[in-house]
C-alpha cells in the first residue's frame, strides 16, 4: 500500500526518449530526449507541426517501435526491456490504437474486424463475435456489422476502428489523428464518441491532433517541436 499523500505512479512514462533514423549515409534525429508522464484517467492532447515527431512519439509510447535511447514504462512495465513478443502481449492486453487511416481489413465485415483482437488473444469465435456485436452497438453501428468494411462511410469506418481498439478493454488509448481524414461533421461525431468512451471506461487517452479546437477540449496540452516537447498546459474543463 502506498503511503498517505504519496503521488501515484504514472500509467505511462518516458524518460530521455530519443529516436534516430538512418537515411542512407546520414542519421536523421527525430526525438532528442523526451520526458513525459501521464496520470491514470487523463485525457492528453499532443500538437505540433508536421515532422515534429508526434506520431513517432506515439509509436514509441505504444511499443510499436523501439527507441534509440531512453525508456518507456506502461503500468510500471519497461517496454525497452521486453522482447518484441512480450511487447506484443502488453499491447494486446493493455493498449488500444486508433489511426488517421482506419487500417480495417476491407475484405472482412465490420464485425470480423472488431472481433480480430479477441480472436488473436485466443477467445472462442462466438464469444469474440458477441463482444464485437456489443462494441458495434455502442459506437452506433449495430445494423452495419455484416457489411464489408469497404461498404462503410469514412466516419463509420473510423467508428469501427474505435470499437476494434476497445476490444481488449485497454487501460490506455493512443489515438493518432483519429479525425484527420474526416469531414467536420464526422470529426465532431468521432471526437464526441471518444470523450464518452474515455469517461465510461475510465481510460487514459493520448490524442495526437492538428485540430486546435479538439486539443483544447482535453485535460492537458503538450506542444512538440524539433527541440522537444514543451511543459504541459492544464486546460479548463470544457464540454
Residues 220-234 pLDDT 10s: 888 887 767 776 666
Per the model's pLDDT, the better-predicted residue between 202 and 25 turns out to be 202
Residue 100, pLDDT score: 74
The pLDDT of residue 108 = 92
Number of independent structural domains in the chain: 1
Share of the chain above pLDDT 70, in %: 92
For residue 146 the three cell numbers come to 455484416
Residue 155: what pLDDT? 85
**Which tens digit of pLDDT belongs to each residue from 112-163?**
999 998 998 888 999 999 999 999 998 888 888 999 998 998 888 888 998 9
pLDDT at 201 over 50: yes
Whether the CB-CB separation of 44 and 219 falls below 8 Å is answered with yes
Would you say residue 215 lies in a domain?
Answer: yes
Q: What is the spatial distance between Cα 209 and Cα 175, in angstroms, rounded to a whole number?
A: 8
Determine, yes or no, domain membership for 32: no
Residue 28 maps to a domain: no
Of residues 133 and 216, more confidently modeled = 133
Is there a domain that residue 191 lies in? yes
pLDDT at 237: 55
Burial classification of residue 70, based on how many CB atoms lie within 10 Å of its CB (0-12 exposed, 13-18 middle, 19 or more buried): middle
Residue 23, domain member (yes or no):
no
- Provide the pLDDT confidence category of residue 9 given band limits of 50, 70 and 90: confident
Residue 181 lies in a domain: yes
Domain of residue 159: give its range. Answer: 39-67+83-234
Residues 26, 172: Cα–Cα separation, whole Å: 35
Does residue 91 fall inside a structural domain? yes
Residue 166 belongs to a domain: yes
Element (H, E) at 98: strand 95-99
CATH number of the domain that residue 200 is part of? 3.40.50.300
Amino acid at each position: 500500500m502506498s503511503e498517505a499523500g504519496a503521488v501515484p505512479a504514472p500509467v505511462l512514462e518516458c524518460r530521455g526518449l530519443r529516436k534516430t533514423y538512418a537515411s542512407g549515409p546520414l542519421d536523421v534525429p527525430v526525438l532528442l530526449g523526451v520526458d513525459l508522464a501521464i496520470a491514470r484517467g487523463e485525457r492528453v492532447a499532443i500538437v505540433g507541426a508536421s515532422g515534429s515527431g508526434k506520431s513517432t512519439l506515439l509509436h514509441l509510447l505504444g511499443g510499436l517501435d523501439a527507441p534509440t535511447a531512453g525508456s518507456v514504462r506502461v503500468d510500471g512495465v519497461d517496454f525497452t526491456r521486453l522482447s518484441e513478443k512480450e511487447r506484443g502481449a502488453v499491447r494486446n492486453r493493455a493498449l488500444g490504437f486508433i489511426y488517421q487511416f482506419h487500417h480495417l481489413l476491407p475484405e472482412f465485415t465490420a464485425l470480423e474486424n472488431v472481433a480480430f483482437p479477441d480472436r488473436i488473444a485466443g477467445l472462442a469465435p462466438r464469444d469474440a463475435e458477441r463482444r464485437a456485436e456489443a462494441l458495434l452497438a455502442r459506437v452506433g453501428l449495430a445494423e452495419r456489422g455484416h457489411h464489408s468494411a469497404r461498404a462503410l462511410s469514412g466516419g463509420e469506418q473510423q467508428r469501427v476502428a474505435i470499437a476494434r481498439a476497445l476490444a481488449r478493454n485497454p487501460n490506455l488509448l493512443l489515438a493518432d489523428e483519429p479525425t484527420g481524414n474526416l469531414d467536420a461533421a464526422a470529426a465532431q461525431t468521432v471526437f464526441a464518441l471518444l470523450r464518452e468512451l474515455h469517461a465510461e471506461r475510465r481510460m487514459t487517452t493520448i490524442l495526437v491532433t492538428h485540430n486546435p479546437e479538439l486539443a483544447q477540449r482535453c485535460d492537458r496540452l503538450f506542444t512538440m517541436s524539433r527541440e522537444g516537447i514543451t511543459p504541459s498546459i492544464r486546460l479548463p474543463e470544457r464540454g
